[in-house]
Amino acid sequence: MLDSSIHHSAMKSINDSGRRGRPDIAHMFLLIANESILNREGVLDVVIHTRNEYAIKINPEMRVIKNYNRFKGLMEQLFKEGGVPPGGSLMNLESKGIGQIVKEMEAEKVILLSEKGKRKHIADVIKENSVCIIGGFPHGDFLSPVEEIADEIISIHSSQLPAWIALMEVIVAYEQKFMK
């Protein structure tokens, strides 16, 4: 598994290296998502879409390993076996594009968070059955055609936010609006 903090010099020759090798982003994102009140209440579904059209479906009952190195080992197992544990009840890996993933979720509204979007508060646009697409790459913008599947593209801050901060903002806005 590529980790830019370890493999930085070897990654220089890899195409699009500035957008790769950051499993720490997925780790932080999953730690926040899984420990959230939304997840504990059974309201949150998390799917990670990776390059090469893979979808990682996360079971809401999964408890994310807090140790980063052990998490990387778990992700290696997932990509090798297709599921964690093998046979997959906590995380499953499927070959699936983001459009198909979103369609299967049957959301009332699909919201794309992008620094290029119109500046709005997430609470003003989120519906109870929404899908929020949050980019999880260190640099640049989406390569997938996510703009085509989004009902609305918004920016929630004047500067680019890390994926886990954007996630926290979405979670808190949803909790305040729908879980009173």
Three-class SS string for 114-162?
Answer: EEEEEECCHHHHCCCCEEEEECCCCCCCCCCCHHHHCCEEEECCCCCCC
pLDDT at 100: 95
Tell me if 23 sits within 8 A of 75, measured CB to CB: yes
Residue 15 contacts by C-beta under 8 Å, 6 or more apart in sequence? none
Q: How many structural domains does the chain have?
A: 1
Domain that holds residue 167: 4-178
Q: How far apart are CA 180 and CA 173, in angstroms?
A: 11
Q: According to the model, what pLDDT value does residue 7 have? A: 41
pLDDT in tens, 106-132: 999 999 999 899 999 999 999 999 999
Residue 28: strand, helix, or coil: helix
> If we measure between CA atoms, which residue out of 17, 18, 27 comes closest to residue 69?
27
**pLDDT given at position 108:** 97
Residues written for the chain: 180
CATH number for the domain harbouring residue 136 = 3.40.1280.10
Q: What pLDDT, on the 0 to 100 scale, is given for residue 137?
A: 80
Please list the ranges in the chain whose pLDDT falls under 70: 1-21
- Give the pLDDT confidence score for residue 46 in this predicted structure: 96
Q: What DSSP state is assigned to residue 17? A: G
How many whole angstroms separate alpha carbon 53 and alpha carbon 45?
19
